[in-house]
Structure 1
Amino acid sequence: MRMAGAIAGALLITGCGGSGKGGTTDVAKKPDTKPTAAPSVPMETTVKKATWTDRDQARQLKVAPIRLIRGKDADLKRVRLDDNVDGMVPFYLTVSYTNTGKATLERPDPEDNFTITLADGTPGRPIELMNMNPLATESAVPKECDKGGPATLPPGSTGEACQIVMLPKHRTPAIVSYTDEASGALTWKIGDGKGYAGTNGLMAAGQSADAMWQDDNRDVPMTVTLTGMRKGDIGDLSRFQLSAEQKKMTPYYVTLRYRNRGTHTLLPTMQDGVAVSSAGGQRIQPMTFMDFSTPGNGVGDCRSAVAHTRLKPKSSLTMCSVHMMPAGDQPVAVTFKGEGAGAHQFGWRVP
């Protein structure tokens, strides 16, 4: 089971053959001439209980990241990379997983549920080395990343495997995450958990940024300010019909103020551009509810729409949106992406 939201780029090594994960080739292997590996990046390595969902059955595990190494462009110079990882560098994340259930696991791959995220919640792009050619691996790629994990894992046994995650060159990772549909998200800090640089380009709550929004095919300039964010309780939404999965989540209420700097009146639909980025690398859009007109349970002031309202030029409007966070995950940033010419995405650190 591959982690939801992760992007797996297929890698093909020039002149290679073989059978993919755990496969072999017919080419004789050269003596190991790899250079000394780079020092490990400091991170939390606490072992945590988790599940690994295989064919819709949740298997019980204990998992942990055990080593993280930042690679170099040259590590994959013989590899044909997908275009979506251009300008990125590899990070080699080695993880361990122990089978705490009663049945032997066949071809387990819980390493695929791990990824690395930046301080603003941007997830890395996990990739796999497929059809490995041993003659093309004389690089700094760790040995454990040249092969897959164990083919089977009996009860009580522990396996190790490597996940290669591509991240932008000039950004520093902040969090390792493990996500499974049956147990939500687990997270571990890398360094101080702030990406070392701290803000990674994020603003503090209360700061404003210029944006653009469209109404009736007209671009309208705005100023957008995050005024608050608070954690709710699933009981707040008891009068709304929720799915079984949503009932396991936690609502977060995000409030932004919009000021119309243009000359045209705006229909207030700006929540469409709001999202909460999570430690698990997810981008969580606002929930849409049919009616918030009746106050109560703490959400009466957090509306998905403001009926019979328009945002007039030189006027401001404060709006609130509800974002449902999966179990175990946590918000790290609020982002806004505008519409129209010159529109871009910006964000704030979670207050």
Structure 2
Amino acid sequence: MHHRSIRRTRRTAAALLCAAGLALGATACNEDAAQDAGSSESPAKDKSNGGSGSDQGSGGSGESGGSEGSGGKGVDADANKTIPLGQKSALTYKRSKKVATLEVTARSVAKGSQSDLSGMGLKAEDKALQPYYVTMAFKNIGDNTVKYPFLNTPTNLRDGKGNGAKILITPSDAVKSCPGKDPDTFAPGANATICKVFLLPKDETPSVVLYTGDFDKGPVYWKATKD
């Protein structure tokens, strides 16, 4: 019980530190920094892969189970590829000593409203930006239980120019239309649906959602709109 209390305290402290920063750059806040201070997100700009549909993904899995993903594809088969919004992708989640095989889906990218963000103390320049709500679905399809994961931290959004959107770090229930609470424990077979708030210039529109589960394998990209 003592160890669990310490972990919860660290997790809460990390979330509060991020919340205090509010609108951050796409790489500025790694909520798992307490255990993985040396990691960083993929570059905000990567026009060669951001929407190209490149077929450079690598195979393999970060754990012993879950060698086949959705539709019979291998785990990490979609790395560095662009797939349709709503399509499931099996990939490796790896942060420090936390390793799992996940089925990840970018479900939706919805245009939000600044009125949803009232009372959050946004800077004037951030109040001039357009919020977007990205909803991701996760399923643990491997053998490992991950305690206190930050499943949605690797999610990012890019505009049509390939620029990364600003991430708005909020308390998990602050934006009612975009709930963002991670589970405390993510066991094999468990599911979670988590939303994340991004800010883009009003003259830009989202192009791709990307998820970098394992930095060694590269992100999976989803088109931000359905064809």
Does 1:259 pair with 2:139? Answer: yes
TM-score by length of 2: 0.59
How far apart, CA to CA, are the structure 2 residues paired with 1:233 and 1:119?
30
Aligned twin of 1:129: none
The offset of 1:215, in angstroms, is: 5.4
How many aligned residue pairs are there?
155
Aligned twin of 2:86: 206
The offset of 1:214, in angstroms, is: 2.8
TM-score by length of 1: 0.40
Deviations 1:261-300 (A, max 9, x none): 22222233122111111112211253211x2435xxxx31
Query: Identical aligned pairs, as a percentage?
Result: 24
The offset of 1:212, in angstroms, is: 1.3
SS at match of 2:83: coil
SS at match of 2:179: coil
Pick aligned residue for 2:173 from 289, 293, 296: 293
Which structure 1 segments of 5+ residues have no match?
Answer: 6-115, 123-169, 171-199
Pick aligned residue for 1:349 from 212, 223, 227: 223
Alignment RMSD, CA only?
3.0
Counterparts of residues 3-14 of structure 1 (less than 5 Å)? none
Aligned twin of 2:126: 246
> Any runs of at least 4 consecutive aligned residues in structure 1 with deviations exceeding 6 A, and if so which?
none
Greater fraction of residues in helix = 2
The offset of 1:119, in angstroms, is: 8.5
Aligned twin of 1:279: 160
Greater fraction of residues in strand = 1
How far apart, CA to CA, are the structure 2 residues paired with 1:118 and 1:328?
22
SS at match of 2:90: strand
The offset of 1:336, in angstroms, is: 0.6
Aligned twin of 2:50: 120
How far apart, CA to CA, are the structure 1 residues paired with 2:177 and 2:149?
16
How far apart, CA to CA, are the structure 1 residues paired with 2:97 and 2:81?
30
Does 1:338 pair with 2:213? Answer: yes
SS at match of 1:270: coil
The change in CA–CA distance for 1:230 and 1:119 in structure 2 (over 3 A counts) is farther
Confirm or deny: 8 A CA contact 2:131 2:200 kept in the other structure.
yes
Does 1:313 pair with 2:188? Answer: yes
Confirm or deny: 8 A CA contact 1:211 1:343 kept in the other structure.
no
The offset of 1:312, in angstroms, is: 1.4
Aligned twin of 1:220: 100
The offset of 1:338, in angstroms, is: 0.8
Q: Which gives a bigger RCO, structure 1 or 2 (Cα 8 Å, sep 6+)?
A: 2
Does 1:270 pair with 2:151? Answer: yes
How far apart, CA to CA, are the structure 1 residues paired with 2:209 and 2:112?
16
Deviations 1:131-164 (A, max 9, x none): xxxxxxxxxxxxxxxxxxxxxxxxxxxxxxxxxx
How far apart, CA to CA, are the structure 2 residues paired with 1:215 and 1:121?
25
The offset of 1:235, in angstroms, is: 1.3
How far apart, CA to CA, are the structure 1 residues paired with 2:90 and 2:155?
14
Confirm or deny: 8 A CA contact 1:121 1:277 kept in the other structure.
no
How far apart, CA to CA, are the structure 1 residues paired with 2:143 and 2:150?
17
SS at match of 1:226: strand
SS at match of 2:195: strand
Which structure 2 segments of 5+ residues have no match?
Answer: 1-24, 26-45, 56-79
- The one-letter code of the counterpart of 2:126 is Q
Aligned twin of 2:68: none
Aligned twin of 1:229: 109
How far apart, CA to CA, are the structure 1 residues paired with 2:97 and 2:49?
35
The change in CA–CA distance for 1:121 and 1:286 in structure 2 (over 3 A counts) is farther
How far apart, CA to CA, are the structure 2 residues paired with 1:339 and 1:322?
22
How far apart, CA to CA, are the structure 1 residues paired with 2:88 and 2:117?
30
- The one-letter code of the counterpart of 2:117 is L
- The one-letter code of the counterpart of 2:201 is P
SS at match of 2:188: coil
Counterparts of residues 88-107 of structure 1 (less than 5 Å)? none
